[in-house]
Amino acid sequence: MPSRSSINLPLAHLRFVAIAMVGAYVVINTLLALVSPLTAGWPFPALTAVVVPPMVIAMIHLVIPIARRVGTRP
């Protein structure tokens, strides 16, 4: 029979993934809302080039630490 800690590990991992996905969704939509008035008519690759750097910074310094702190609690 599996121990309780081995059962909690997949649940903690799923919780981490869910929190990271929601965080990424919020960050990307916020960035697109802020940038879209300034980049109206730009080609999609140019818009992506503008949005990706702040998205990566937000994921590394904001979303992932929050997801690790909240999502991996037993």
First to last CA, the chain: 19
Within-domain flag for 2 = no
Parent domain of 31? 8-71
Return averaged pLDDT per consecutive 10 residues of the chain, 74 residues in all: 61 91 98 96 96 98 95 74
What does the alpha-carbon distance between residue 17 and residue 54 come to, in Å, rounded to a whole number? 20
Q: What is the pLDDT of residue 46?
A: 96
Q: What is the pLDDT of residue 63?
A: 97
E strand or H helix that includes residue 31: helix 4-35
Say how many domains are in the chain. 1
Within-domain flag for 13 = yes
